[in-house]
Each structure stands twice: as structure tokens, then as C-alpha cells.
Structure 1
Amino acid sequence: MNEPTTIQDRINTSYAGLSDKLQIAAKFAAKNPVDIATRSLRSVAASTGVSPATFSRLARALGYADYEQMRQDGRETVERKMAPFSERAHALRLATSEQGSSTVLHRQATACISNIENLHNNIDPDRLNAAVQCLHDARTVLLIGAMGSAGIIDYFGYMAQWFKGNWKTVGRNGTELSPSLSRLGSDDVVFALAKAPYARRTIAALKTAREAGATTVVITDSRTSPALQFSNHSFVVSTESPQFFSSYAATLVLMETIISLLLARAGSEAEGAIRAAEVQINQLGENWIP
């Protein structure tokens, strides 16, 4: 079993079990990695209203030997994450040119496996079932994902539409999104995928959905994500990767799990819908036949 690899991963894994004071320190550490990496312990503590000893206890609660080890981890995380995509791509290209393809594959696979194990070990089944039930009961479900999340949301919607006719992907442009949001009510659900860098359109859509009384389900990558303040049901999923962009591997596992649970709830009616879709696809000649 792989251990969490960054401060953010460790906080995501341990947050619910921390005391109130440790949660205050953890929120600060997650939201201000540069401060953790560059400022003294006394200075960081003064900014939060909790004692330096609280941050030292947080470090040990997260599995570090002491605060200095957590701080060093923070420095490495900042160096890796704060750089623009272009700089990360440059570093990746140089590193990859010095490694064999098997090494590159191993590093990528190891990161993805760690993310998936974190998801598997820390997902709350009751929270997952509650979110799935909302999606099952909804009058309509709007799917929103922009920038790097757009294609992943398209795939999620494609799977659901085999047996859910009331799901619609709307986040790609404002022309389609605005009228869809204007029709939301308390029987509707907005499902959003929000990964850093966070798309302004996604956060604004979640805010509008909550104001309209709709239920919101969010998958994001950090407990400091701006999407969480507008979520009824939320899942923080690790995205660590040696790539220049975030990994969606664990997110896909969660989405495919949600589809499986929805299918089980829909029962034989879903099977009939899928069978009818298959017949229509054959009639249209969409599949290549050798």
C-alpha cells in the first residue's frame, strides 16, 4: 500500500480525524503551501491564531517526524506545483530524455496507483451512496467541466446516457450553460468536476445552482478548492503525477464506480434502455463490422 506523497495528500487523508485546532492548521497548510515552505514556524503560527506547537502536532499527525520535515516536503511540492505548465513540461522533457521508457512508465503508473489507493482507502461509502442516490432521484442532471476536465465530463455523460435520458453536458460554453442553469430547481442536480487551475465558469455555475435550490455534487482535488463552498456532496481526489498536468486516473475510477452504482439502482429498466440503444446503433450502422 502506497502512503500519501504530499502535504495535500496527507491532509486529504487525515483531515476528518483531526482536532478543531489541528484542522485550522491543516486548512492553512493546504491553502498556503508557499508560507509553509518559506516562512518560519513562529511566523506561520502568528498568521493563524494557533500556537507553533499546534503546527508541530499537525506535522506528526500527518506522519512527518517533525515540522521541519513537513516544511521540506512543502518546498518540494511548491517547486513542483507552482511552476507554469510550460516550465513543468520543460523539466519533464529533460528528465524523460535521460530515462528509458520503462522508467517513465513506472513513475507514471506508480503515481496513478497511489492516487487510486488513496481513493480506495479513504472514500466514505455512506457519502458515496448519498451522492449516487441524489443523482438517481434527480429530475435532470447537468454535467459541468471546463478546460482539462471537459473531456472527462464528456466521458462520464456518455456512460450515463446509455440508460439515463435526463443527463446533459452543458459546461463547454456560456451559450448552452446559461439557459440550462436558468431552469434549475430543487429537483435538479449539478455535477461538476473542478481541478486546479480552477475554471471560473465551473465555480460560477455551482454558485448559481445552489442559489436556485439545486443539489450539487463536486469532484475536486483539494480541500481548499473554491468549488467546495458550493457543494452539497463532495469528493477530494488525489491528482499527483510526474506529468506536467494533473492525473485524472483516480477520478475516472470514482466516476466509473458511480455509473455502476447508478446502473444497479436503475435495475431492469436500465438494461432495457441499453438494449434499445444497441438496436438503434446497429440500425444506423455506427459500429464497424469486419
Structure 2
Amino acid sequence: MILAGDFNAKHTSWGGDINDERGQDIVDWTTRHNIYIHNTYDSLPTFQTTRGKSWIDLTMTKTIIIHDWTVQEEDTLSDHHYVCFSLQIQKGQIQQRTQTRNDINNINTEELKIIHNTTKTHNKTKKTNQIWWTPELQRLRQATNHLRKKYQQERDTINRRHAEHEYLRQRRLYKNTIKETKNTTIRQYFTNTDPDGPWNTAYRIIRNKNKSNNKLSTIKKDGTWTIDRNETIQYLHHKYFPNDNEEEDEEEHKHIRQKKSKIIYERRDNHNHKRHKKQKSDSNRRDQQRNN
């Protein structure tokens, strides 16, 4: 079992200098059920903003071995940092699954409530393998990470303020470039269609780019072929726009019709009521004007 996420819990066992009630609950729960917390007290903070930092993203395991647990320094365009580790699967791991499941079933309701109230899972993955990723984005990410590290290491107040400004400016540039690159990639994907793609013919007809004479021909129906264009049109019309015959309705269709009729009648009554009310108000106003 691997349990990882933003627990928003503080304890000196995994970093920081304060303990809170939620952090102590997690320590007690993991100790009681032999669950191992891989966070270390000397790791980089898992959450950091310009206003502060904390160690609130935890990684826990039971009967599973992981190695090289680290908090990455690179910028994620989020307040949370990447947490990376290597997973080792041992022989016989599958046989241990039943035991782990039984251990989970033994967790009482109060403990499940603690887990529910303290966990908020995240699935942050690097997106460098996406089709929209470019060498320019790689360069911007490296520059952003460099300025971020420079800002974090600066101790002089004036220089730190300047470093923060440079880092945030670079971060905005990096974020906006990602957005623009994604949009451009999507536009190119839908405009530069593959000539052999299944939607290419429909796309060219809609955009009026097809120079050939695309007349509707015969199609196959019920094991036979239509003989001409008129029969093809009639068949398609009947198949995709069938006659609405109430006598063929099933119970579900009857219920939908009744519900629809009720809504129509209610709207009509409401409209008539408002119109009558307005007419009465206009009549009273005219009478008042004549009396004055």
C-alpha cells in the first residue's frame, strides 16, 4: 500500500519546528498500524510560497519498499513541489496483498474519519513527454528554477526583494508560454489533418476544400444495397430521424412524455398568469391616470 498526498499536517518528524493535532493523529495512526512515513526532517519543504513554507505532503507505505525519496527543487507552477521516489517490487509481494487488505479492514471508523479529514490527494507528474513540450519551454523551466533557487538562497532584504521580483516575472513568462504553446498545438492538430485520417473527408467537405464531386451514392442496408440517391436519402432519414409514434412508446418513453407535458403546461400557466397580472396592473394604472 502506498498512501501519498497533501495531509496539511505538521510534525517535527517530517520537517518544520511545530507539531499540530492533525500531525500527532497521523503519527499515532501510522505507529499503531506499522505504516512507515518516508518524509525526513531535513528534506526540502514540500509546500512553499512567497509568504512561507511547510512540510505537509507525506508519503507512507506498508509492505512496500521504496528508495531515493526526495523533494525536487524545480518549479512546478504550483505551491507544491514534486516528490519523487523509486518503487521496488519484491517476489511474493502479491501474496502479501491479502494481509494488507485485512489490516485495512481492521481500521475502525474513527481512524477512517481521521484519514478522510486530513487527506487531499494530488497527482502531479512532469509533462515533459507531452506533444506540446518544446526546447523553448525546457529553457524557460531551467531559467525559472535557477531564479527560484537564487531567490530562496538570498538573505539580504533588498536583494531578496529584487530576486523575488525577477523570479515571479520569469515564472509568469514560463506559465504564459506553456498556455500559448498548448493552444497553438491544439489548433495545428485540428487544422493540419492527416490525409489518411478517418475525419479528413468530412472536414474537407465542411470547410468546402474538397474539389472532387462528392455525391451521395448507395449504401448497404439490411444486407442489401440502396439502388439510387433517393432511396439512400429516405433510408438515412428514417434511420436517424424516425417517426415519433406515441403508440410505439415503452413505459420509459411514456414517462418522459408525461414529464415533458407537465413542464410545458406549468410554463404555459406561469406565462398566462404573468400576462394576466401585467394586464391588470396596466389597467389599474390607466384608471388611476384618468381619475387624476
Larger Rg belongs to:
2
Larger relative helix fraction: 1
Q: Normalised by the shorter chain, which TM-score bucket?
A: under 0.3
TM-score, structure 1 normalization: 0.19
TM-score, normalization by structure 2: 0.19
